Amino acid sequence: MNKFETIDYAIFVIYFVVVSSYGYWVYSRKKKASISASHDFFLAEGSLTWWAIGASLIASNISAEQFIGTSGQGFAVGLAVAAYEWVAAIALIIVAVWFVPVYLKNKIFTMPQFLHTRYNETVSFVMAIFWLFLYVFVNLTSILYLGALAINSLAGGGYLHEIIIGLAIFALFITLGGMKVIGFTDVIQVLVLVVGGLATTYIALTLVSEHFGLGKDAMAGLNAMVKDAPDHFKMMMAKPKAGASQAEINKYLALPGIAMYFAGQWIVNLNYWGCNQYITQRALGADLKTARTGILFAGLMKLAMPVIVVLPGIAAYVLYKNGGLQHEMASGGHFNSDNAYSAVLGFLPTGLKGLSVAALTAAIVASLAGKANSISTIFTLDIYKKHISKDASEKKMVIVGKIAILAALIFSIILTWKDLLGIGGEGGFTFIQKYTGFISPGIFAIFILGFFWKRTTGAAAIAGILTGFAMSVLFNNYAPALFGHETFLYTAFPNGKGGYEIPFLICMGLSFLFTIIVMVAVSFAGPKENPKAFDIPSSMFKVEKSTLALIIVTLLLLTALYVKFW
């Protein structure tokens, strides 16, 4: 394996200086323009271009859990994990066409504000507190821990705490400049992320090519991978039959074939891209056309993301299967798929290793900055302004927002320092999916009915929160033991740990279904039309020809991908 050389450190330092300098320049221009209102700090109101919005969405989305976790899933399962990226492209079309107009028309700036406007203050306050806990304890902490762990591994170990502090300070520097600085620095972050990620993929493919005696030819390496591991290039996992190995069952538990497209895959993506402060914040300060174009631009980029985050994992699988990467893929003497990406990075030549680590750092820092800003926005606008200091000035709110950012990052450092939450033992990707997935069905049900069914009530929203969580716990932990392994609703499979499990994405679909049923039943006990329902004329959803062209191109490309790899 190649170690870091002087040029690698130089490239990494140049990346740090360029991003920091550009961020300071954007911040300085903003100060000279005398823009200091809270909405500018939290939302960059009116100042983000469509390409900055799209780039910022991707930079915030692609982080350590994608590079490490998704590549690990690519190693274990294959291209089927790309469903998370490709379905996201359709989810972004839905968000751009149907969700964003509702937010912008009703001047929604935060997700708790949406719940207050559409339902009541109780729903808003409960969810604001919940989101703050989720973002700090799950998202911010796991991003920091996973990122530091990956970079520490590449640096040879022994620097975990220094890297944790370094990443947090870098993210703090960017976040304190406000959403405009985050948005525009994310453009550089995405460029570094894409260039460095593609370099890693190219080297991974040439490693495979060389291993099979085909020379340094990336396309030959890709063809060799398809030939050697055809099962890793299929989007649909077959339902395990009697006598199937535990490895086959585990693949289906993670990605249950075509069934997941009728269940949790949509809930995961639509909740993440359409009902998530961390994501929607980028578009809420723009006009409709700019917001839509930026979101659709992000959707196009999502189609290409598997090249960066999945292919290196599949390459590592092929190499490992054929006698390569044995030492690199071991962790404590055991196989560990989460080491797939860093194992490939270890073979990068001098210079490219620095670029690829810069790409990984860019993804981590952009996600940390975006998440910290969302925490600050929700705390300041939905907790501090509403319940602590209703008369707070614009300047005071910005100060409070900056203090909230600092506090959130310090708290995440404390939680990460000795991995107090056990992220390492559970696996970062699993940790994030587990704790966000338990509440996604309820949250998405509240939003989707709140958007499009005028009868939905505040009482139904509270019932939805409780039902969504209860149903998630039931189907994930207790249903097989209570109702059997095979019912008309689901099939449970042995999990290799002495018990049975329903595929997680199926659980999400079932939880969402029962949540909707409960919310509809509760709403029927209320008035025929909730006075707080949104007025949504159909004209809101009309799109311009340029927007329609982007949608058609995205759908055609997505169709071609699924036809190729079905």
- What is this structure's pTM? 0.84
Instruction: Find how far residue 131's CA is from the centre of its chain.
Output: 15
User: Which pLDDT band, with edges at 50, 70 and 90, does 429 fall under?
Assistant: low
Q: What is the mean pLDDT of the chain?
A: 84
Tens of pLDDT, residue by residue over 178-214, are 767 777 777 777 787 788 788 889 988 998 898 888 8
Place of tokens 């723009």: 286
Domain boundary assignment for the chain: 6-420
Q: Please say whether the beta carbons of 412 and 141 come within 8 A.
A: yes
pLDDT(91) > 90: yes
Bridge partners (DSSP) of residue 500 are: 494
Q: Please say whether the beta carbons of 479 and 511 come within 8 A.
A: no
Backbone dihedral region of 503: left (phi > 0), alpha (psi from -120 to 50 degrees) or beta? beta
User: Which pLDDT band, with edges at 50, 70 and 90, does 35 fall under?
Assistant: very low
3-class secondary structure, 109: coil
Bridge partners (DSSP) of residue 493 are: 501
Mean pLDDT, residues 345-370 taken together: 79
Tens of pLDDT, residue by residue over 302-330, are 999 999 889 998 998 898 888 777 655 55
Tokens standing for 217?
A: 């030819």
Place of tokens 């914040």: 281
3-class secondary structure, 453: coil
Instruction: Find how far residue 102's CA is from the centre of its chain.
Output: 23
Task: Identify the CATH homologous superfamily for domain 6-420.
Answer: Sodium/glucose cotransporter (1.20.1730.10)
d(CA 473, CA 340): 31
Q: Please say whether the beta carbons of 480 and 500 come within 8 A.
A: yes
β strands within 42-106, DSSP E = none
Q: What is the residue type of 131?
A: W
In 3D, which of 232, 76, 151, 138 has the Cα closest to residue 426?
138
pLDDT(33) > 50: no
Tens of pLDDT, residue by residue over 506-546, are 999 999 999 999 999 999 998 888 888 888 888 888 888 98
Tokens standing for 263?
A: 């269940």
Work out the burial of residue 476: count CB atoms within 10 Å of its CB; fewer than 13 is exposed, 13-18 middle, 19 or more buried: buried
